[in-house]
Amino acid sequence: MAQQGLLQNFSKIFVWHLLPKHWRVPQIFYASATWRFDTVLSQFILEMPEGAHQLKRGEFMSELDMWNILAGFMSGNAIWFLAYVVATWLGFRMTNNIYMDGSAPIVGKILVSLYCLSVSAFMYMLIVNTNGLFRDVAAGLKTVGQTGELSAAAQAFIEQASDAPSMNPIQVVFVVSIIIMQLLQVWMRKTD
């Protein structure tokens, strides 16, 4: 019952207080929307067996748990990478317009340069975090291998990812080439 009260309070905050005033709905709809939100969330949480969401003391994660962690994080990383590709494309559009125009103000060039550098920094951090994730999952799989048998795929993953650098040379070339191409378009004059 305490969980249901917590869920109701959370849904009231979520449905009513966090929404801008022009998105708020009449109280009648609000009550039914709150009930639906509570019902869905409470069915998900309350129907789970006791302790299903955490390991008990002395229990270990399985190989499948480690693969699931990797898959979950890689799904999120794929979405972020796609966002950075779109942001990089937008950066190339801006730098191309500056290059083709030739008379862009210095403030515009500085702002576009800062944008391109920040997108490249975000992409750099995503790559570093992804490679760190590979190392962490490989370390987790090693630990799982101490308590049980690992598949050939897990053993191959451990061999490849255990000593992965923060960025390999190909990844460095990829990010640095984007920076150089974009900044050259901003700061070089077009030759007619």
Residue 56: the pLDDT is 57
Q: Give CA angle at 87 (82, 91), nearest 5°.
A: 145
Residue 89: the pLDDT is 97
Report the range of poorest mean pLDDT among 87-91, 106-110, 153-157.
Answer: 153-157
Residue 59: the pLDDT is 62
Residue 164 has pLDDT above 80, yes or no: yes
Percent of the chain scoring above 70 in pLDDT: 68
Q: What is the mean pLDDT of the chain?
A: 77
d(CA 141, CA 65): 10
Residue at 69: amino acid letter? I
Residue 43: the pLDDT is 44
One DSSP character per residue, 94-161 reads HHHHHHHH----HHHHHHHHHHHHHHHHHHHHHHHHHHHHHHHHHHHHHHHHHHS---HHHHHHHHHH
Residue, of 56 and 112, whose pLDDT is higher: 112
Residue 2 has pLDDT above 90, yes or no: no
For 67-74, what is the mean pLDDT? 89
**Distant-in-sequence, close-in-space partners of 187: CB < 8 Å, separation ≥ 6:** 109, 113
Question: Contacts by 1-4 with C-beta closer than 8 Å and gap 24+?
Answer: 3/42, 3/45, 3/46, 4/38, 4/42, 4/46
Q: Give CA angle at 138 (136, 140), nearest 5°.
A: 70
Report the range of poorest mean pLDDT among 9-13, 75-79, 128-132.
Answer: 9-13
Which among 137, 133, 129 is positioned nearest to 66, based on CA atoms?
A: 137
Residue 23: count of CB within 10 angstroms of its CB: 7
Residue 186 has pLDDT above 60, yes or no: yes
Instruction: Write the pLDDT tens digit of every residue in 117-157.
Output: 999 999 999 999 999 999 988 988 888 888 878 889 989 99
Residue 19 has pLDDT above 80, yes or no: no
Residue 39 has pLDDT above 70, yes or no: no
Q: Are 159 and 134 in contact (CB under 8 A)?
A: no
Report the range of poorest mean pLDDT among 25-34, 149-158, 178-187.
Answer: 25-34
Residue 84 has pLDDT above 80, yes or no: yes
d(CA 27, CA 17): 13
Q: Report the predicted TM-score, pTM, of the whole model to 2 decimal places.
A: 0.65
For 49-74, what is the mean pLDDT? 71
